[in-house]
Structure 1
Amino acid sequence: MIYKKVLSTILITGLILITGCQLNEHRVQSEGSDKSNLDNSTDKTDIEMKIIDGNNELPVEAVELEITNHGENEYTYGSQYTVEKYVDQSWSEIPFKDNVGFNMILYTLKPNNTNQQTIYLKLLDHQLDKGKYRIKKDFTKNKTNTTLTAEFELN
């Protein structure tokens, strides 16, 4: 267990060093209007993220995420994501079950292309119930980080 944490820390640190020492962060939301955890940037983004799986009836084991690059430059991103639930007028991160990890793969999204990613909700250490949720992911373009969210509701 300690070995996995040390290895994860080393890999994440390496990834940060590879992306450069100076990062300009722009945080935007592709869907949703909550501003409590993300800056409401006036910069327009050319990348879009949305949930395409129409199943919102419980129980739900996974949702399908669609990421589209509408711009002229490549974006890169990893497989990691965060799931948050809207509770008491703010977003709260839902932890993953013990021993859940992400492969350290760097994906490239070329201009005018779309990728999909399956978001496995069954990996969360939380019994999903009715409510508003969102997926949060980080993207990089030309050493500039962008955080996107995509909201969905479960009934």
Structure 2
Amino acid sequence: MSARPRSKTRATWLTLLGGTFGLHRFWRHGLRDAWGWLHLLATLTGLAGLQRLDAFGIDDAQAAWMLPLGGLSFAAAMLATILTGLTPDERWDAQHNAGRSGGTPPSGWGAVLAVIAALLIGTTVLMSSIAFGLQRWFEAQAEADLQTPQRISVPR
């Protein structure tokens, strides 16, 4: 007897709630999935950056690159949620339920609501990560310009 069919709605919600930790990758591909471990590593790096930001303030150089990395991992998980939720049911069954017994119920509104939440959350996190990263980059450029001695040319 083959295993139970995998629900697209369950996969969409798992990706929304635990995708940033790679849970959706581990559920689909097992613990040997490299992308799942990269999600987890990037998220933990971002959380460590958040702790550094809290402890050392906004001017911490390590937090400046750690936070956007965690934000990008989170945004990638939200993109995976959207892609999972918008996959047609027939394609989902062909990819993930080939050879499994029983039919899968249609995904319905459960997957649609998860996609809507992923759009809202993912857009907010992605824009915040980009804004924070660019702000820190521009501040570093301005600081470097201030430290560079300026030569003043005197007209003759």
TM range (shorter): under 0.3
TM-score with structure 2 length normalisation? Answer: 0.22
Larger relative helix fraction = 2
Larger relative strand fraction = 1
